[in-house]
């Protein structure tokens, strides 16, 4: 069973017609990666919106959750993990703290520092939201069989490593 043509195929065909000298193999890969990323980003945003959070706020809560008990990191650790400026992080922390999903407190080991900790409500919410997000991702990945999905993950790993900052 062949897969129907997609918009990237049309773009590649158009380039071939006007610039047959171009090797568009990279465009085929990254055109699809970009479109997939945008489509899945939109789907994930909708999944997390049901919990009153954005993808960016999900990332903060998920990072704290993955840090394990006591679900505490410094704002600097969060910023580094999420590759965010301190200003961008402050806005997310402010919103999540107002929603009662995390709390900031003085760092007992550094008078100038703060700690960010998930609240019980934040822990409950992130555990539900991560499941909802995985459901969306799993549904999309069902277009591939398990062997294809594993192969794709394996192929993307070195590509990400070669292009990551």
Q: If you average pLDDT over residues 65-93, what whole number do you get?
A: 89
Judge whether 118 and 65 are in contact, CB under 8 Å: yes
What angle (nearest 5°) sits at the alpha carbon of residue 129, between those of residues 128 and 135?
95
Alpha-carbon span 147 to 14, nearest angstrom: 33
What angle (nearest 5°) sits at the alpha carbon of residue 72, between those of residues 70 and 76?
165
With 80 as the cut, is the pLDDT of residue 51 above it? yes
Of the candidates 134, 97, 98, the one whose C-alpha atom is nearest the C-alpha of residue 118 is: 97
Q: What is the pLDDT of residues 127-161, one digit of tens each?
A: 999 999 999 999 999 999 999 999 999 999 999 99
Of the candidates 31, 34, 33, the one whose C-alpha atom is nearest the C-alpha of residue 8 is: 31
Q: If you average pLDDT over residues 50-65, what whole number do you get?
A: 96
pTM reported for the whole predicted model? 0.87
């Amino acid at each position: 069973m062949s897969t129907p043509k997609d918009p990237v195929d049309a773009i590649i065909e158009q380039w071939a017609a006007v610039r047959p000298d171009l090797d568009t193999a990279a465009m085929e890969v990254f055109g699809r990666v970009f479109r997939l990323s945008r489509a899945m980003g939109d789907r994930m945003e909708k999944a997390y919106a049901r919990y009153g959070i954005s993808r960016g706020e999900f990332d903060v809560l998920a990072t704290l959750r993955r840090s394990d008990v006591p679900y505490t990191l410094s704002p600097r650790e969060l910023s580094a993990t999420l590759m965010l400026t301190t200003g961008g992080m402050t806005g997310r922390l402010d919103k999540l703290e107002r929603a009662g999903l995390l709390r900031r407190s003085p760092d007992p080991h550094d008078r100038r520092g703060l700690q960010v900790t998930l609240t019980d409500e934040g822990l409950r919410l992130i555990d539900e939201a991560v499941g909802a997000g995985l459901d969306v991702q799993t549904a999309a990945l069902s277009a591939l069989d398990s062997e294809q999905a594993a192969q794709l993950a394996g192929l993307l790993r070195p590509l990400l490593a070669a292009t990551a900052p």
